[in-house]
Each structure stands twice: as C-alpha cells, then as structure tokens.
Chain A
Amino acid sequence: MIELLNITKIYKTVSVETKALKNVSFNVKDGEFIAIMGPSGSGKSTLMHILGCLDVPTSGKYLLDGRDVSQLFDDELAEVRKNKIGFVFQSFNLLPRATVIRNVVLPLVYSNVPKIEREKRAKEALFNAGLEESHFNHLSNQLSGGQMQRVAIARALVNNPFLILADEPTGNLDSKTGEIVLEAFQKLNFKQKRTVIIITHEFYVAEHARRIIHIRDGSIIKDEINHHQRIIKL
C-alpha cells in the first residue's frame, strides 16, 4: 500500500521558484497497474523521483508499505530503494561491456545476497522479464533496444521489490518493441501481482494500465479506472 498526502515539491533556484507538484494525494493498492500521464513539464518525473525515494517532497506525507519516507536522509533513502523499489529508465542505463547477468545481479551486490543465490535469482528475473536464455551471457551493448529494456526490467525485479517504477520505458523504442516491453509489464502485473507504475506522456502507452492518473501543472486533474485496458497477447 502506498499513500501520498498533499505532496508538494518546490524547486528553488537563485532567481525562480518552481512549484513542480502541488498538493498531490492518491493511494496505490498492492497489485495495481497504474499509468501516470501528462504533457512535458507537468511534474511526472518529479513525482516519480518522490515515489521512487530518489528525492523527498518539500511538504506532505508519503507512506510506503506503512512507513513514512518523506523526511529521510540520503542513506536511509538508499536503503528503502534497495529493498522496496525497482526502477526502469527510458534510456535503460545498463552497464556497457558487462554481461546481461552481471547487470541484473548489480542490485544484489548492495544487499549482501550470497553469491550462489545471486545468479539463480538473476536468471529467474530474466525469465520473468521474458529474455531468452541464449542471451544471458551476452554483453549488454550487443543487445537490441527491446532486449536491453527487458534486462533492465529483470534488474528492477531481482530484488523482489514492493514497487516497480518505469519512467517512459518505451520512449527510446519503436512501437513494436515498445509493445514487447509493455507486455512484460502486464505479465508481471497479471501473473505475479506486482505493483507497477508507468510514467508516460503518450496515451497509447497509458492505455495498457488498469488505472490512469492524469497530471497537469503539478496537480492531478483526473484519476480513473481504465475500463478499456489494452491487453497485449504476443
């Protein structure tokens, strides 16, 4: 369960003060598949940073799995990210010149999982993210975009997180490979009951989620159940 209460984020620079989020409140139940949608500059990334504990709000309360994480220090935030959050980025952010397995194993390095177990969990995550086993020992920069993003999804999964957060995960992909990636998210949600939040500015992408939160100028303008969820069957 995630609860956001009156989250406000203000960026202060020397000359200007930007209110990126204004009193944003909503709840996320375990196992939901949500898209946060809005035009550029509406505050999506800011919201994702707060949801993902990469940043803290200027004011407001954020309860993650029952714990208030809105006022934590850097290292406490890192601890929360390590245990509760899996990120998928628009630009994949894989370690180049490192194998697929090593990329997926990376979060486990910081959580002291024994070495023998790491590989097992990495393979399981890759399997759940839908990457063929023949690619497991390839270098990450030898993969196609769709494959790279599935490696990134596996990396987000490997810690068995409470929440998977994806920021424009199809933004660097053509529509066909984009669908492959969206299908991977849907499978994780349907089969494993994982909580997934996708951030996007494209309605086509948001359509694949069960719930869509519309955001504009830092405020939620609409929060609806998507009765026409587009299901991908490949």
Chain B
Amino acid sequence: MKLSDLLRETYSAISMNKVRSGLTILGIVIGIGSVVAMISIGQGAQGEIEANIESIGSNLIMIMPGMQAGVGTQVRSGWGAAQTLTQEDAEAILENISLVAAVSPEISKRYQVTAKGTNTNTSVIGVTSSYPAVKNRELEIGSFISDQQLKNLSKVAVLGPTTRDDLFGEGVYPLGQKIRINKVDFIVIGVVKSKGGTGFGSQDDMIFIPLSTAQRFLSGDKYVTTINAQIKDQNLMTLAQQQITFLLLERHNIFDPQMADFSILNQSDIVEAASSVTNTFTILLAAIAGISLIVGGIGIMNMMLTTVTERTREIGLRKSVGAKNKDISSQFLTEAIILTFIGGVIGVILGWLISFVMTKFFDITTVISVFSILLAFSVSAAIGIIFGYYPAHRASLLNPIEALRYE
C-alpha cells in the first residue's frame, strides 16, 4: 500500500465522521495549546527575572557584612546589622586586585523623607561617584554625586523617578528643591532614569546621597552595608571572588574562612539560583498542561477504539480483498497520527495566541521558543503513536471471517 493511498484513505475516514474527528482534535488542541502557553509564560518569567538581575549591573560581586550566607538564605544587612565592612575595604579591593575594574561601596536604610509638606518612606543610599558606572544607572536630568561633594560632605541628593513623583508630583522641576531626611536638609541635584523593572523591589524608588554625608549625618559611623565590585572579565568572576575573600580575611585578621565576617554574592550565582526557581516553575506549569495532553491522548484512543468497533465489517472487507495486517494497522495508526498532528498544529497556534493575549492585555512577559514548539509537536506525534497503536493493533488482528459477520 502506497503512502499516497494511505493518506487518501485516512482523509476519507476522518472526513466521514467530522464531528467526532473534530472533538478528538479539540482534546489535543487544548492539551498542546496549554503546554505551549504555559511554557511560554514560564520562559517569559525566567527571561524577565534574568533581565532584572542583569540590569543591576554587569559582572558584579556583592560583598555584605555578616556571616557567610549562600544564595537564598537571609543575609542580614542594613545599618545596625553586623558592622564589619568599611570604605577602606572597598578601596583596598580596588587597589590590590587587578581583576576589579571598579568598586562602589554603599550604605542604605529606609527613612521618612519630607519635602514641602509631602512625605514618603524610601531607601536612602549613601554612594560614591563610581555608583552609576558599577550599577548601570543613567541620569535623566542634573548630575550625579561628584568626588568633590563626597570630600565636602555636601548635603546633595539624587532622586529615583518614583521618589521624585512621590515628593513633588509629576511635572514639577525638582532640581534645586529642598528635601529633608532625618531632620537634615538636602538639595536635589539630579534624577536618575527609570529602570522599570518589576519584582525584586523597585529600583526607581530611592534617594542617593554622598556616602561620606550619610556616614556623618545619618548613620554616625564609618561602616558600609554593601561593597559592589565590578570585575573586568566575566570568565574570571570566581577567581576574583576568591581573591577578594582572601584579601578581606587578611584585612580583618581572620584565619579560618568559616569565620568570615562578611559574605560574598556572585551575580552569576544569583542568576543561577533565580533561573533554577523559574525552571521549576516552568516545569510545574508544563506538567499541569501535560495532564490535559494525556487526557487528549486518551480521547484519541477512545475514539480510535470506537472507530475500530464501528468499522469491523469494513476491516473484514478490506482483508477479504487482500489487505494485510500491516495495511490495516498502518491505516488506523495513520488516522490517529494525522488527528493528533492537526491538533498539534492548531494547538501551537492557540498557545501562541494565548501568550500573545497574555502579553498584550495582562502585561505578562512570554517567550515562544522553537524548543517549546518542537516539544509540542513531538509530544503530539508520540501521543498519536502511543494511543493509536493499541486500537490499530487490535484492528489488524481481527479475523476477516468474524469481522465480515459482525453486526
């Protein structure tokens, strides 16, 4: 039996029972469609989280005071927590480790901030002039904190766009305005551009002031809460992390690395941890969708079994005119595969539409990957074969005499 004949027989068999074929296809469409949509949502979330982490800056190593802590464990930070890192540590890292391109020590705490009667609660971060380069921030208007202002302990502030809106309302020119943080007056000298990101806390709601000013007027001590170090080469992150660790252990007179009074987070570790979380999320979504795919497959099997029973006499007739067992089984198997294939194609389109709607109307980032489409197709083909095989096999084994006699 030629392939073209097989396809023609399949076509006429499917079109002879349009309603049932349609319902069977629908089962597969829902299954494949939800798998594609779910994976696209999962991968979209993954991409967004990774982009968020990347936007913090590139090739970053973050050093925080406190005990060693891995990713995902609570890192104690903020003023009043462990106080072990200083600006001198940051400078030593830059001076002694050639892999480090720049360092940006910072000190941060939330404060009630007021301006002309309005007030807001926001993070106030003491930084140095290297901050914009290390943490990937650009200015919208004005200028950032200069080395001169650091030296002079100037009371100047650079606002995040959300903070500016909270304090002055939209459309008000903020430069030169006065704000009050913890009873100290600051002059606004700049506003940074929005980073837009969601999750991970907004990076747009914060106020930058000179590190020296923050230490003198707000914290009253010489400690910092984070040292960000930017590494020259992404491939040397681990080496740089080791060198920083050794340097700080030495500077802090600690001999046992287990007793380190600081912890180091490597940006790639954070990315890895976050993607393993979103991976699990994607797999979970796909598994839920996979269940509907299995239900669709059982639908195929159910329909094929019914078809075989209904067409018993036809099978007997085909055998009497010379069809071999293989001819019969390939006919029914082809039918099942074609049905799932059609369902697969429509399902991919449906899944694509769902993720399009998600992105368009619900602002959920989705990613349709070639992988998910290939997966959907191979899964639907496999379902056709797996769930079509048994009915096809049963049909092929029918005895022609009994099949012809079947009422």
Contacts and interface: CB of A to CB of B under 8 A. Distances in A.
A45 to B, nearest CB: 8
28 contacts: A49-B401, A52-B320, A54-B400, A74-B324, A74-B325, A75-B324, A75-B325, A75-B326, A78-B323, A78-B324, A81-B319, A81-B321, A82-B321, A83-B322, A87-B320, A87-B321, A93-B320, A93-B404, A95-B314, A95-B317, A106-B318, A110-B322, A110-B323, A110-B324, A111-B322, A115-B4, A159-B321, A159-B322
A62 interface: no
A109 B1 contact: yes
A78 B326 CA distance: 11
Interface of A: 49, 52, 54-55, 74-75, 78-79, 81-83, 87, 89, 93, 95, 97-98, 102, 106-107, 109-112, 115, 155, 159
Contact of A110 (B316, B327, B401): B327
Contacts of A111: 322
B54 interface: no
A146 to B, nearest CB: 20
B256 interface: no
Q: Which of A49, A87, A93, A97 has the most CB atoms of chain B within a 10 A radius of its CB?
A: A93
Main secondary structure of the interface of B (DSSP, over half): helix
B306 interface: no
Contacts, number: 61
Interface of B: 1-2, 4-5, 9, 12, 16, 313-314, 316-327, 400-401, 404
A81 B313 CA distance: 17
A160 B325 CA distance: 23
Nearest to A83: B322
Contacts of A82: 321-322
A137 to B, nearest CB: 15
A79 B322 contact: yes
B4 to A, nearest CB: 8
Given A54-B320, A110-B327, 13 more contacts: A49-B401, A55-B401, A74-B324, A74-B325, A75-B325, A81-B320, A102-B12, A106-B321, A109-B1, A109-B9, A110-B323, A112-B1, A159-B322
B97 to A, nearest CB: 78
A72 to B, nearest CB: 12
B401 A54 contact: yes
